[in-house]
Structure 1
Amino acid sequence: MPNGSLDDHIFGLKSKAQPLSWPQRRKIVMGTAKGLAYLHDGIQPAIYHRDIKPTNILLDDEMNAFVADFGLARMMTKGGESHITTKVAGTHGYLAPEYALYGQLTDKSDVYSFGVLLLEIMSGRKALDTSGKSVPHYLITDWAWSLVKIGRTSEIIEERIRQSEANGEMERFVLVGILCSHVMVAFRPQMVEAVKMLDGVAEIPEIPDRPLPFMLHSPSATDKDGYFLASDSVSRPAFSSSEMSM
């Protein structure tokens, strides 16, 4: 694509040379949200992408966003099971907790990933901080939530795009990102609802409190097929080292 991936513009060299403006970020967020809403509700069977992240959002010459790379996607017939239990695949930092822990895949798994992506776009910060030597820190979700909880939502917005005339809209986008990435699946909106909230057509409900910060524990053992095993007694799906990426 003419403008590469979203990752190039928020974390790559292009982000330093010419950071995305607020209108560009808004356009990319809305394009991605509408694309996912179409995959979930506009076609039959529905498609769950399973790997929404900046490198999989491609940009054309007018900065229109396209959801790409359907190598991990799964199809789901409407009216079928409430969720699919499947081997976990995707990228650390963007995986919904219920999917990462128990392999329960629903459209809300993509919603969670979109929420993380949205917070990355608004803050300019990466979803997962792996710079330290300890367990990786879920930077975006924990950090953003801590600021929203004490009424400092505007501080989540990257300083380079803060502008008084658009702060209200930017904060709305941040709150939608917080709601979409809520650790409790029941509190996340459907993508069609998220699009309406972003557009200002639907109100954002009060964001429920969260349980203790969610962290994925490092696996303690590997089975003969190369799958990571859970480190406690809870029944969890195996993590395939070939399908999980950073």
Structure 2
Amino acid sequence: PNGNLQQHLHHPSNQHRPLDWGNRLIIALDCARGLEFLHEHASPTVIHRDFKCSNILLDENLRAKVSNFGLAKMGSDKINGQILTRVLGTTGYLAPEYASKGKLTTKSDVYSYGVVLLQLLTGRVPVDIKRPPGEHVLVSWALPRLTNREKIDEMVDPAIQGQYSKKDLIQVAAIAAMCVQPEADYRPLMVDVVQSLIPLVKNFNSSASTRFH
């Protein structure tokens, strides 16, 4: 056990070292695979409903495991699309249609995943009232910047500046932007997120091995 993602991202210490770009890419892929399993391979479908940084455990190699299924919901999502349910979960991670109307689908988890991906990119928390006006809510601050090639560098966590290629950054930002779309139908499936991240992790690993050997 090596703590959770929340500790590593927002409270780095001797026990929880800061995460580099490569670590963050692999954690993003591990989490995407975990949610993909719940959505596509569990029967019936499982919707996590409380996917957030403190529920992502890291092992000694900084590989991620999705944990805490206390609010998870068994769904018939593939058949009728949605479940109407009481709203539970954590502010800042909740999809708009779930927070406002109690409509729960696998796309609700996709939104929460997008918030975690934004945290990996920016080092910011989902809601921070200490920040200037317009920057309190991570998603609303980040969304217009994610697709702006000039502004994208400005939003990256200073701890990982210079560790990534611009091309990779743009691709990760594009995935995050799709996941946090206000309309659930515009969000990707987790299987698509996994397929988008695999080549990024492979490319990073191969370029890292040529850099350091």
Asked if TM exceeds 0.5, the reply is: yes
TM-score range, shorter chain: 0.7 to 0.9
State the partner residue of 1:144.
Answer: 142
Corresponding letter in the other structure for 2:100: L
Q: Deviations over 1:6-42 (max 9, x none)?
A: 0010011439973111111111111001110011001
Where do 4+ consecutive residues of structure 1 move more than 6 Å? none
TM-fit CA distance, 1:141: 1.1
Instruction: Flag the structure with higher strand content.
Output: 1
Distance 2:117 2:180 in 1: 9
Q: Deviations over 1:175-225 (max 9, x none)?
A: 211110111111100100111122348xxxxxxxxxxxxxxxxxxxxxxxx
Q: How many percent of aligned residue pairs carry the same amino acid? A: 37
Distance 1:27 1:136 in 2: 27
Kept in 2, the 8 Å contact 1:30–1:198? The answer is: yes
Q: Write out aligned runs for 1:62-77 (5 A).
A: 62-77=61-76
Q: Deviations over 1:56-91 (max 9, x none)?
A: 000011111000000000011354321000000000
Structure of higher RCO (CA pairs closer than 8 Å, 6+ residues apart)? 2
Distance 1:18 1:76 in 2: 37
Kept in 2, the 8 Å contact 1:8–1:15? The answer is: no
Distance 1:60 1:150, change over 3 A: closer
SS at match of 2:124: coil
Q: Deviations over 1:153-193 (max 9, x none)?
A: 22222122122653321321122111101111111001001
SS at match of 1:14: coil
Distance 2:156 2:30 in 1: 20
Q: Deviations over 1:111-140 (max 9, x none)?
A: 0000000000111011111337x99931x2
Instruction: Flag the structure with higher helix content.
Output: 2
CA RMSD of aligned residues (A): 2.4
Distance 1:125 1:165, change over 3 A: closer
Kept in 1, the 8 Å contact 2:26–2:63? The answer is: yes
TM-fit CA distance, 1:108: 0.1
Distance 1:170 1:148, change over 3 A: closer
Distance 1:157 1:171, change over 3 A: farther
Unaligned residue ranges in structure 2 (runs of 5+)? 201-213
Kept in 1, the 8 Å contact 2:21–2:164? The answer is: no
State the partner residue of 2:197.
Answer: 198
State the partner residue of 1:90.
Answer: 89
Distance 1:162 1:135 in 2: 23
Kept in 1, the 8 Å contact 2:7–2:16? The answer is: no
TM-score (norm 1): 0.74
Distance 1:78 1:179, change over 3 A: closer
Distance 1:89 1:11 in 2: 24
Distance 1:146 1:136 in 2: 12
- Equivalent residue pairs, number: 199
